[in-house]
Amino acid sequence: MIDIQTLLIYAIPVIFAITVHETAHGWIASLLGDHSAKMMGRLTLNPIKHIDLVGTIIVPAFLYFTSGFIFGWAKPVPVNFNALRSPRRDMLWVAVAGPASNFIMALLWLGVVFIAIDTGSQFLADMAQVGIQINLLLAVLNLLPLPPLDGGRVMSSLLPPKLSYQYDQLEPYGLFILLGLLFLGIFQTLILPIVKFIQLWAFNLVGLI
């Protein structure tokens, strides 16, 4: 049975990762003219506002205990793209904000590794390792060019209007397509190698390897 320390090692980085990711979307949208997230109380780092019972708790827990792989999602922050000052251009920045926040958090967790080394805390070291991995996973996964993932939004903003409209029609099926790709091994063949490469590069950069 999982102990409380192990639960904290995984839960704290995951909660921070999804909370900051969603808040980043809302924050950038607010800066660019859409205040939907702020008006609905979602422009906050309070994780309770972002937790989705199924996507944040049930699915990740089930996957962890059955396969060791963690995949999940939070409640999407509401964004009214038509309220943005330049909808097609600004949609790109709103979409990129989420993965960018995860890359930044991975760097912050990298800093926690040094604190763990200085203090000799294995608990902090383990949590930092999970923090780095989960944030890199979320960033890379969300950058896949598949709507409604952030990468799909980026792709849609870059395509000509007609192609963008046709591309967006994939959105209702996006989650099923993603689950199918994960089942077929895209995690092991594409996402995980990219995550490991970035992690190794970052560790080498700061002299941890």
Tokens standing for residue 160: 């000509």
Where b means 16+ CB within 10 Å and e means fewer, 108-135 reads ebbebbeebeeeeeeebbbbbbbbbbbb
Phi-psi region of 41 (alpha: psi -120 to 50; beta: other; left: phi over 0): left
CA dihedral 147, 152, 153, 157 (to 10 degrees): -120
Are 60 and 14 in contact by the 8 Å Cβ rule? The answer is yes
Catalytic residue among 20, 22, 137, 202: 22
Catalytic-residue membership of 171: no
Whether omega for the bond prior to residue 47 falls within 30 degrees of 0, making it cis, is no
Give dist(CA 101, CA 7) in Å, integer: 23
**Residues identified as active-site:** 22
